[in-house]
Amino acid sequence: MQPRASLALAPTLARPRTTDPENTSTAAPDGATMLPIIEAHEVTKRYQLGRTSVEALRGVTMAVEAGEFVALMGPSGSGKSTLLQLLGGLDRPTSGRVVFEGRDISRLSDSKATRLRRERTGFVFQAFNLIPLLSVEENIALPFAIGGQPGTRRDWNDRVRQVIELVELQGKERHRPDQLSQGEQQRVAVARALVTRPSVLLADEPTGNLDYTNSGELLDALWRSCQEEGQTIVLVTHDARAAAYADRVLVIGDGRISDEIVLGRRADHSAAPLIARLAQIGL
Amino acid sequence: MAIDRLAWRTLAARPLRSLLTVVGVALGVGVLAASLTLGAALDAAIDRTVSTMVGRADLRVSAFLEPGLSPEAIGTIVETPGVLEAAAVIERRTFLASVPGSPAPDAVTVLGVDPLTYPSLHDLPIAAGSGLTDPDEPVALITESLAESDGYGLGSRLSVLGPGGPLGVRVVGIVPGAGPLPQVGRTVILPIDTARAALAISGATRVDLLLEPGSAEAVLASLAARMAEPYVLASPADLARSLRASAAAFEGMAALVAAVVLFVGAFLIVNTLSMTVGERAREVGLLRAAGATRGQASRFVLSGALLLGVSGSLAGVLAGGVLAVLLAAGVSSATGLPAVVTPVDLRSAAIAAAVGVAVTVMAAIEPALRAAQISPVEALRARIDLPHISRGRLGWIGLVFIVVGGLALLAWPPSVAPAGGDVQAALAVYLVLLAATLLSPFLLRPLARLLGLPLAVFVAVEERLARGSVGRDRSRAALTLGSLVVGLAMIVALGWSAQAARASAFAWLDDVVPGDELISSIRPIAADEGIVETLAAVPGVERVTPIGTFGLAYRGQRVDAAAIVGADFLADGRLTVLAGERAAALRALDEGGAAILPSAAATALGLGLDDTMRVATGRDQFLDLRVVAIVERSLPGGGGEAVLVGWPDAAASLGVAGADAFAVRIAPAALEPTRDAVRRTAATFALESNPIERVQGAVAEALARVFGVFDALAFVAVIIAALGIVNTLTMGVVERVREIGVLRAIGMTRVQVMRMVVVESTVLGVVGVVLGGATGLAVGAVLLGLGARFDGATGLPWPALGAAAILGLVLPALAALYPSLLAARVSIVRALRFE
């Protein structure tokens, strides 16, 4: 389906793009055509709950370009978390295709999907989901420990230090999760997701359990990774303030993408224009 | 009722855990029920045996000396005032002549009875044919068991071998089952005069008496005043006591193992109910918020426990019946009593079920109290942290198991209690196991860290996660690891006890038997029969030592004794002398007037070196034996180690007619051919020759049968421990669903997740093996030290430790299969939604 509206709010940093179900390649500002890093083509997802069938996604088509920060917004039960899970290979669509870096991941075997998650994606969840018995350092290094990552142990240690700096948790490397604030715990989760330099970071309501200050610190860390490391981020959120960090906002309603709001890359993360636009479309 | 229904639905919602708990309770109750049923069967067997042996007699007067009671002595007994009925009986072991060329059959026991007097005191039912009528007719009754094993029937001709020459008799009747001597079975019943002729006995070996009521004291006094020959008195109660004493050690050990299994079963119950409370804390809190009282919150837990306890106990009673039937043969073999087990012994079943339900409910009290303490506010938090519950639980575990120990003492077999030492040993064992259980959670982390190192080389991340996981809940670890430690400890301890008993028996035989072959006879062989000379003439034979076992009457009690040739023992280097001069002592035996005492007998009789042992040889006749040496071990006698005396005293003063064993030493150069020649020569005298190794093998086999029963019971404890591991690991997986989901989301494969759970179980197993091994050695030391059943320890029980290691590694790995599959099947999407 086609998005109903596309509104460029800050053309200075934004890289406008079109989303076409037949051709999801992206037109860069210089006119060159870039292949998106993730694409969804007419994706549906149906859950069977006893005798009842619930359709969480009803034919979603979208694309995310490398280095882009995309937010998925929508009311509860609209299907945004389901879409995120499909994009990251956590689950399989009922129909349609999810293409990750040019490869169809819709029907990957469990082991291949595991490998994709291990090597190419990073996840952050609303609940911080740290392993309580491991230290901050060990939690962050867990994807390396699980195996399959290239490089030496020294490279891994260097990278762990690097992401600890990125999320500003220096000095807390040996702390256990229960010795950290909630905001710090979530930043550990972000560091763990980023440590393997994934192609895409997928974050599901990462600020949902955080207060205003901690939310801000976390979103700053995400934005820095996007800005400084070129990290692609797909963020599911209810919060307009969080979505305002994104270059582009896809609004999902009733299992479909109902709107696309292009914000562009902005340093001030002001939520006001987005809130106004969301009000316009009744969200 | 609404609370009860909710509790039961909670159990139904966790079918696996509930089932595991019910099985755990069932196994614990089953072993207890089996142990009690076997105890009851043994008691019944003892009563039956006594009744069969003694019949309606009030008193049995037996000959003390080998030739038996003389006709004069029998007359004296029969004419004693107060005696209503008297039945003289002959009981001797002998052989039946075999068909030439066929192998010699096993020995039989000849029971000579007077057809006129015997029926007044004993029932002698006939299964086929007719009974005996005249005291001197050449006919016989045989037992069904002898008829079946040797192929005899009505009308068969038997040739009874004895000093009076072979005597032919015709079988006229078959006695049902094992007959009047149930411990023997292979019995030929002859008219008493026929038996006298066959066995060259003029009197009888005993007289059974029916007394006038209230005349027992007068009869005893009259006999003491009038009897000219040494005799032994026994009442049915004495016989029962003696039989109970022989079964007491077995019953005691079986009761101890059953208590331990129950102990382990209780672990599973406490663990399950605690897990349920932890898991259901939110629901309990919501119930409280909705107006449920603290009492109702407790009832929620207790009601579930009661259901589990009742279901498990009922299943356990059935399992116990099956187990008792399976173990009955081993018990009969171990105790020598024909234990007939009824699958459902109501009293045992009721006690076991009551104990099962009581232990389950007791185990539920702490979780129930904790449930009552959960506040609605606490329960409504996103995550309930209940570390204070874990801490409090450890103390409760200690209390519960002390009470279980008390219950076990109450249920202790009454026949064992007077022994004292067994109860002390049992208590000490119980305390060692309790200490190991309570210490295990504190040792778990450091040991897991150390013992996990080899695993970390291969599966670093799984080992790290698994290690952290096992120590997460200290009290749960105590219960899970504790049960494994206890089960494995019992395997090690019992294995060590068996090994020590075997080694002790082997060392004993090596130390005291001066020969490579042991020839045994069921009748005394006099020195003038020429057997020693014939055997000594076999080329390759270095020495033949005749040994005669008998009883000494010392201070009114029977003391096992053996007649030996001192010079032979000196030349052969047998006996380890603890006190006295070896050569002089052995020479003194051959000169007469001397005795060598085993240290156990010296202690029991209060005799020391150079003391005089005055033994009775007849009415007002005594023989003084000087204690010339005390040895570490001596030859085995009828019930214990024998006092050694020389042949001159034995033959001249103590009524020993001849040797019943010959130890044959063979030159090492020609051992095997000479052995064959010795066996052939022995066969010509209708004697059986066995290499000393076979005698040792028979001892090992007998011990293996006894310990096999205990091992089977201890194995049940390990099975319960494995169920506990399944339970704990499953709970661990359920609790960590979100964690597992995250691990899967960041790239952990299903195989890695499974490996993590298996490694967790393996770490538990390895720590269990180390702690169980150490605890088992401590328990074994208690059993060996305090039990006084085994005289001397041995090296470490490597085979038992090996068995425990295999069980401790294999069972946890198997136990991890289901939880690991469960973990691997965790849906990432659902796990991340999991609250």
- Give me the residue from A114, A119, A125 closest to B832, CB to CB: A125
For the cut 60, the answer to whether the pLDDT of residue B60 exceeds it is yes
Continuous H helices in chain A: 80-87, 110-120, 136-146, 153-166, 182-194, 212-229, 240-243, 272-280
User: Which tokens go with B378?
Assistant: 């606490």
Q: How many CB pairs under 8 A join A and B?
A: 74
The pLDDT tens digits for A128-138 are 778 887 899 98
In 3D space, the residue among B55, B188, B65, B77 whose CA is nearest the CA of residue B123 turns out to be: B55
Contacts of A52 (CB under 8 A, 6+ apart): none
- Give me the residue from B738, B739, B746 closest to A117, CB to CB: B746
The dihedral through the CA atoms of A57, A63, A65, A70 has a sign that is negative
For residues B697 and B100, which has the higher predicted lDDT (pLDDT)?
B697
Helix (H, G, I), strand (E, B) or coil at B736: coil
In 3D space, the residue among B64, B171, B58 whose CA is nearest the CA of residue B122 turns out to be: B58
CB B296 within 8 A of CB B283: no
- Give me the residue from B461, B465, B747 closest to A118, CB to CB: B747
Work out the angle at residue B287's Cα, subtended by the Cα atoms of residues B282 and B292, and round it to the nearest 5 degrees: 145
Continuous H helices in B452-530: 453-458, 460-470, 474-512
Give dist(CA B217, CA B275) in Å, integer: 66
The pLDDT tens digits for B134-172 are 888 889 999 998 898 888 889 888 888 877 678 889 999
Give dist(CA B147, CA A268) in Å, integer: 108
For residues B195 and B604, which has the higher predicted lDDT (pLDDT)?
B195
Q: What is the ipTM of this complex?
A: 0.76
The dihedral through the CA atoms of B577, B580, B583, B588 has a sign that is negative
Residues from chain A contacting residue B748 (CB–CB below 8 Å): 114, 118, 146
Taking CA atoms, A84 is separated from A45, A234, A250, B170, B750, in Å, by: 12, 8, 12, 99, 22
Give dist(CA B114, CA B193) in Å, integer: 8
Taking CA atoms, B626 is separated from B432, B609, B646, in Å, by: 45, 8, 12
- B102-105 long-range contacts (CB < 8 A, ≥24 apart) are B104/B683, B104/B686, B104/B688, B105/B150
Continuous H helices in B55-90: 71-78
B747 contacts A129? CB cut-off 8 A = no
Q: Which of the residue ranges B97-111, B289-303, B488-502, B569-583 has the most confident prediction, judged by mean pLDDT? A: B569-583
Measure CA A144 to chain center.
21
| Confidence tier at B1 by pLDDT (50, 70, 90) | low
For residues B568 and B552, which has the higher predicted lDDT (pLDDT)?
B568
- Give me the residue from B469, B472, B749 closest to A114, CB to CB: B749
Give dist(CA A186, CA A209) in Å, integer: 9
Q: Which residues of B touch A (CB under 8 A)?
A: 460-461, 464-465, 468-469, 472, 738-739, 741-750, 752, 828-829, 832
Q: Which helix (H) or strand (E) holds B22?
A: helix B15-54
Q: How far apart are the first and last CA of chain B?
A: 29
For A30-39, B154-163, B795-804, which range has the lowest pLDDT when averaged over its residues? A30-39
Residues from chain B contacting residue A145 (CB–CB below 8 Å): 460-461, 464
The pLDDT tens digits for A229-266 are 899 999 999 888 999 999 999 999 889 999 899 888 88
User: Which tokens go with A95?
Assistant: 């129909």
Q: Which of the residue ranges A18-22, B699-703, B792-796 has the most confident prediction, judged by mean pLDDT? A: B699-703
DSSP assignment string, B270-322: HHHHHHHHHHHHHHHHHHHHTT--HHHHHHHHHHHHHHHHHHHHHHHHHHHHH
> Residue B18 has what pLDDT?
83
Nearest chain A CA: its distance from B474 CA (Å): 14
Contacts of B246 (CB under 8 A, 6+ apart): B335, B336, B337
User: Which tokens go with B116?
Assistant: 């006129």
Q: How far apart are the first and last CA of chain A?
A: 20
Only one residue has tokens 């509860």, namely: A76
A90 interfacial to chain B (CB closer than 8 Å): yes
Continuous H helices in B55-102: 71-78
In 3D space, the residue among B808, B720, B810 whose CA is nearest the CA of residue B771 turns out to be: B808
A125 contacts B742? CB cut-off 8 A = yes
Give dist(CA B21, CA B360) in Å, integer: 10
Radius of gyration of chain A (CA): 18
Nearest chain A CA: its distance from B832 CA (Å): 8
B461 contacts A114? CB cut-off 8 A = no
Helix (H, G, I), strand (E, B) or coil at A41: strand
> Residue A6 has what pLDDT?
38
Give dist(CA B35, CA B122) in Å, integer: 32
Domains of chain A with bracketed CATH: 6-280 (3.40.50.300)
Give dist(CA B513, CA B371) in Å, integer: 67
What are the φ/ψ torsions at residue B591 (nearest 5 degrees)? -80, -25
The pLDDT tens digits for A15-28 are 334 344 444 444 44
Residues from chain B contacting residue A142 (CB–CB below 8 Å): 461, 743, 746
Residues from chain B contacting residue A208 (CB–CB below 8 Å): none
In 3D space, the residue among A36, A12, A34 whose CA is nearest the CA of residue A99 turns out to be: A36
Q: How many other CB atoms are found less than 10 A from the CB of residue A254?
A: 14
CB B37 within 8 A of CB B45: no
**A118: nearest CA in chain B?**
B747
> Residue B811 has what pLDDT?
87
**A178: nearest CA in chain B?**
B385
